[in-house]
Structure 1
Amino acid sequence: MMLTVAAAVVLREGRLLVVSKQAAPDVFYLPGGKLEPGETHEQAMRREVHEELGVVVREAEHFLDVEAPAAIERVPMSLTVFLAEIDGEPARQAELAALDWVADATRPGLGPAIRDHVIPALVDAGLLAGSS
């Protein structure tokens, strides 16, 4: 089984927004989730960001495709990542336990796709400072 997931990179003041679910409060990943039947990756990302954070994605641009183990389900995952500009202040909604802003991959609990793929790609693209 391969999970198909779409997620948003939301950046602010050199930091990346990560979230955790109540079912696994110590595991942090990007806001987003699984596609519903008939949804595109971008539609799923926009819906999930609104459901999880109570904000609207104003602009979205495809950034990265990653195959990595799903942090919670521990099965193979195909992750499509969008750079997202949002309107409003993100706040925990729905099933979220926490949200945090990280500058690099050193935060404990980051999911493998975020730690090993997304953050390094953001650093390489000059969008995140990373560790110094």
Structure 2
Amino acid sequence: MPAIDKVAWIHIDAGRVLCVRSHGKDAFYLPGGKREPGESDEACVRREIREELGVSLRPATLRAVGTFEAQAHGKPEGTQVRMACYAAGYDGELQADAEIAEFAWLRHGDRDRCSQIVQIILDALHRHGEIV
């Protein structure tokens, strides 16, 4: 079974990472989503963040953070998600748009509120001293 292919934005401020929760979902995720056919990682993450949070990522600041893989939240056992993560500066004011019910600034101690893949990413960010 092929992995669910996603691209996400990692934005850290004051030792916390920006996470979002979709309407009807119980777990927090990193903002981002699935790419459209033929869409590059950069184009996907820029489009998804504009749709979900109403801000524009600055292309010149976009940098790859890493790719992570885990069991997909809320999917049948064995369904994997692969998430290519990028950091970037942005222009605009963050706001929950589209399918986003809320956003929150989470610390490593909030990992139990997140999907499995985000827990893995929070662990890595904490190990590297990027979040508290």
The alignment's TM-score, normalised by the length of structure 1, stands at 0.88
Name the structure with the higher strand share.
1
Structure 2 residue ranges without an equivalent (≥5): none
Query: Given residue 71 of structure 2, which amino acid in structure 1 is its aligned partner?
Result: P
Using the alignment, how far apart are the partners of 1:72 and 1:88 within structure 2?
A: 32
Q: What are the Cα deviations for residues 16-43 of structure 1, in whole angstroms up to 9, with x where unaligned?
A: 000011131x210000000101111121
SS in structure 2 at match of 1:29: coil
Report the Cα distance in structure 2 between the residues aligned to 1:105 and 1:42, rounded to whole angstroms. 30
The one-letter code sitting in structure 2 at the alignment partner of 1:62 is A
Partner-residue secondary structure (3-state), 2:70: strand
Residues 96 and 120 (structure 1), Cα distance of their counterparts in 2 relative to 1, 3 Å cut: same
What is the correspondence of 1:6-25 to structure 2 with a 5 Å cutoff? Answer: 6-24=7-25
Match of 1:126 among 125, 129, 132: 129
Residue segments in structure 1 that go unaligned for 5+ positions in a row: none
Distance 1:105 1:46, change over 3 A: farther
Q: Is the Cα–Cα contact under 8 Å of residues 111 and 118 in structure 2 kept in the other structure?
A: no
1:5 aligns with 2:6: yes
Aligned-residue Cα RMSD (Å) equals 1.5
Q: Percent identity?
A: 33
Q: How does 1:1-132 map to 2 (within 5 A)?
A: 1-24=2-25, 26-58=26-58, 59-74=61-76, 75-115=79-119, 117-129=120-132
Secondary structure of the structure 1 residue equivalent to 2:88: strand
The residue matched to 2:85 in structure 1 has which SS?
strand
Does structure 1 conserve the Cα–Cα contact (< 8 Å) formed by 2:57 and 2:89?
yes
1:30 is paired with a residue whose SS is: coil
- In structure 1, what residue type is equivalent to 2:117? A
Counterpart-to-counterpart distance in 1, 2:92 and 2:74: 28
Distance 1:118 1:42 in 2: 19
Q: Distance in 1 between matches of 2:109 and 2:40?
A: 29
- Counting matched residue pairs gives 127
Say if 2:111 and 2:122, in contact at 8 Å, map to a contact too: no
Q: Is the Cα–Cα contact under 8 Å of residues 23 and 101 in structure 2 kept in the other structure?
A: yes
- 1:64–1:118 Cα contact (<8 Å) kept: no
Please say if residues 6 and 35 of structure 1, whose CA atoms lie closer than 8 Å, have aligned partners that are also in contact: yes
Amino acid at match of 1:31: P
